[in-house]
Amino acid sequence: VLFPRMPAGLSWPEAAAPALLALALLVTLCRHLWALRWSLSRDRASALPLPRGSMGWPFFGETLHWLLQGSRFHSSRRERYGNVFKTHLLGRPVVRVTGAENIRKILLGEHTLVSTQWPQSTQIILGSHTLLGSIGDLHRQRRKVMFSRAALESYLPRIQKVVSWELRGWCMEPGSIAVYSSAKTLTFRIAARILLGLRLEEKQFKDLAKTFEQLVENLFSLPLNIPFSGLRKGIKARDMLHEFMEKAIQEKLQRNNPEDHSDALDFIINSAKEHGKEFTMQELKESAIELIFAAFFTTASASTSLILLLLKHPSVIEKIRQELTSHELYHCRCPSDISLEKLSRLRYLDCVIKEVLRVLPPVSGGYRTALQTFELDGYQIPKGWSVMYSIRDTHETAAIYQSAPSGFDPDRFGAARMEATGRFHYIPFGGGARSCIGKELAQAILKLLAIELVSTARWELATPGYPAMQTVPIVHPVDDGLQLYFHPLQPGHGSEA
């Protein structure tokens, strides 16, 4: 009853062979029909062919390959198909683009050739009232308010205090520090305290950070809102954060102390009032989440990369110390002594930060949607397709870098060489009207962290070797494998301490 009777003389493998063959043929047919479906979507008004590449499997495309292979996914296909190739990721057809000239056309074609288009999962989780989704005057106004020079200047002393406090904790830890986790704690504390003005007990802070991490980890997922899916997990985290933020924002709005109005969320609220607009609670909640997003994961990634690359290149640490000493900022203990103008004088430190972001840019690229069919490298980019421009691949393949592109060489950005003079050869924050909203803040945090690190600590590996780096969704050590010992420096001592 339970099992069909086998024909006489046939074993199970022999009996199953026809069924397996039929299944294999069906799978092959489905994949061919899937590829044909996208081949037929080309714009027939254009004589140009679609880019080369593979669309993977029905619906899933090549998403699984992308998540598992990381940066190797893109580099292997670039080597096979060239600087412009097609694929299918996160439920959409995508053209992946590398190279300064190609990226120039995309980034300068905002609102004409392309428009900003994050994956559907990202849009659902972050919401529709963020800078990521805003356009035109509203987009420009909110960028200007949230990260204006005056706003950044007001953040600096408080950022330095948070950085100094966290680093002291690292140095007091008797065992090793998991750097990526610790960097996430640092940047989340900066975002919560300084950008949102949240007053949190330590347990609240840790719970909120854990929930936000769950949100970010599921931003780039298949658009399947089903139990146990990445999108469902991201939505659950979002709802929990919105519930917390609504209470915090209501408390903020009820406080009338002008001295409290000095964080980024206050700047947004007050600027709106000056323009005769009142934000809804939904808009404020989504803006609050976006502010943390702008300063949290990517800055934690870059902070980890900074610490790793300085550890590998002690001579760079010594040159930073010499520059700080010449500007009387070595062992600086007064936060009011730090200003944007003083940071701008630290030319070598600026080169170091630029090189960290060139070698290990936190994100691999940016998303757009084609508003009309246009040409890149002799191929058509059909209207409606996603376009993902590559940051990491462009940095790695740019011919303008004289020394080995994969090598860490801050002097390539010095006045004597200025290798990255091309506008789109160096794009760690994207470019054009849609460059990263928090880039000035991120650079300031990285500079303050570098100053505090080289002035007060030395660090060493707690493992036999350096960890591998994972690149999806952002650059970070595999399994948080960058374990380091941090030791306090005595005043007056340098690298020999």
pLDDT tens string 71-91: 789 889 999 999 999 999 988
* Cβ–Cβ < 8 Å for 114, 371: yes
Note whether residue 169 is domain-resident. Answer: yes
Judge whether 334 is annotated as a binding position. no
Average pLDDT over residues 372-377: 96
Note whether residue 464 is domain-resident. Answer: yes
Encoded tokens for 107: 């980034």
* Cβ–Cβ < 8 Å for 386, 92: yes
pLDDT tens string 216-246: 889 888 888 999 999 999 999 999 999 999 9
Neighbours of 313 (CB within 10 A): 17
The proportion of the chain whose per-residue pLDDT surpasses 90, expressed as a percent, equals: 48
Q: Residue 75 and residue 262: Cα distance in Å, rounded?
A: 44
Note whether residue 142 is domain-resident. Answer: yes
Note whether residue 69 is domain-resident. Answer: no
Encoded tokens for 168: 């002291």
- pTM value? 0.87
Q: How confident is the model at residue 497 (pLDDT cuts 50, 70, 90)?
A: very low
Check which CATH number belongs to the domain holding 452 and give it.
1.10.630.10
Note whether residue 126 is domain-resident. Answer: no
Domains of the chain: total? 1
Average pLDDT over residues 292-299: 84
pLDDT mean across residues, the chain: 86
Note whether residue 50 is domain-resident. Answer: no
Count each helix (H run) and each strand (E run) in the chain, helices first. Answer: 18, 12
Note whether residue 79 is domain-resident. Answer: no
- Kindly tell me if the per-residue pLDDT of 351 is higher than 60: yes
Question: Which of 116, 84, 125, 340 is closest to 221 using CA atoms?
Answer: 125
Question: Which of 364, 379, 370 is closest to 86 using CA atoms?
Answer: 379
Note whether residue 75 is domain-resident. Answer: no
In terms of residue numbers, what domain contains 313? 136-488
**How would DSSP label each residue in 275-323?**
TT----HHHHHHHHHHHHHHHSHHHHHHHHHHHHHHHH-HHHHHHHHHH
pLDDT confidence of residue 334: 60
Q: How confident is the model at residue 387 (pLDDT cuts 50, 70, 90)?
A: very high
